[in-house]
Amino acid sequence: MGQIDHFRLLDTGIHSAEYNMALDEAILMHVARGDIPPTIRFYAWDRPTVSVGYFQRIDRDVDRERVRARNFSLVRRMTGGRAVLHDKEVTYSVIVPGNHPYAKASVIESYRQLSLGLCEGFIALGVQAEVVSLADESERTKYSTLGSAACFDSPSWYELVVEGKKIAGSAQVRAHNGLLQHGSLLLDLNPDDLFDVLTFRSEKERERVRKEFDERAISVRQLTSRNISYQEAVDAFASGFARGLHLELSPMTLTEQEEKDAVQLMHEKYMSDSWNLRR
């Protein structure tokens, strides 16, 4: 996109898992209706949270007893993909109406375009990330995986990798006549926390998948030996999106109606077993 595109920039800070997911959906609804501009949002979580993909089976993939024992949150996303442990990260969402070029592009192409902004954000933090395409068979073979319930064990069609390891995980949905892509930007990584709450058919399988995970995922701290603060990361990725996607970002706040709708969605949907345990 050669010309400058105007987006709203939100930094909503730390909230509960249920509110974070509800707010992404509430913003999507209002952006799609044209009430507010296309939006890039950054946020964090009030405690470690396992988010599972829309199509994922919790009873098969997640040990809910272990989640409770560790005082983690558990929530289902409206996007697809596998389980993610949100903890030492910055989470982003990009939300556009259905008539925006990102939404009119194919899923694969929109991933590619948005990855350019993420890549610039990592570069701003001193991490030489690159956008990897799995469109050809040789790259798919290179990044093939045994498969597990965990999101970060292999890149998707277009992902951010450093030295062959995944450093960001994203998921996308087209709903409410708009597009939402959100994802985790790993500032630090403790796989023990994630693998403690996932279920496996045997300990041997757990160990095998854990070993593969270590070979597939990496964090900013591991690459730079720096503890990047939330604010430093938000600033870097905001500038990265602006530079990589040719955006003009206008810092704004939530509208009163967005907040109201988010609270309603939180109580009626994201806090309910009928949503979170639906599969």
Mean pLDDT, range 4-23, rounded to an integer: 97
The percent of residues above 70 in pLDDT, for the chain, comes to 91
For residue 100, pLDDT over 90 is answered with yes
Q: What per-residue confidence (pLDDT) applies to 153?
A: 45
Q: Across the strands, what pairs with 42? A: 11, 92
**Centroid of chain to Cα 214:** 19
Q: What per-residue confidence (pLDDT) applies to 155?
A: 45
151 assigned to active site: yes
Catalytic residue among 78, 151, 186, 254: 151
Kindly list the domain boundaries of the chain, sorted by start residue.
Answer: 5-276
Q: Report the alpha-carbon distance of residue 259 to residue 54 in Å, rounded.
A: 23
For residue 236, pLDDT over 60 is answered with yes
Strand order of the sheet with strand 130-133? Answer: 130-133, 158-162, 165-166
Q: What per-residue confidence (pLDDT) applies to 146?
A: 42
For residue 254, pLDDT over 60 is answered with yes
What digits encode the pLDDT tens for the residues 130-181?
Answer: 988 765 555 545 555 444 455 544 445 577 899 889 999 899 999 999 999 9
What digits encode the pLDDT tens for the residues 189-208?
Answer: 989 999 999 999 999 999 99
For residue 77, pLDDT over 90 is answered with yes
Domain 5-276 = CATH 3.90.1150.10: no
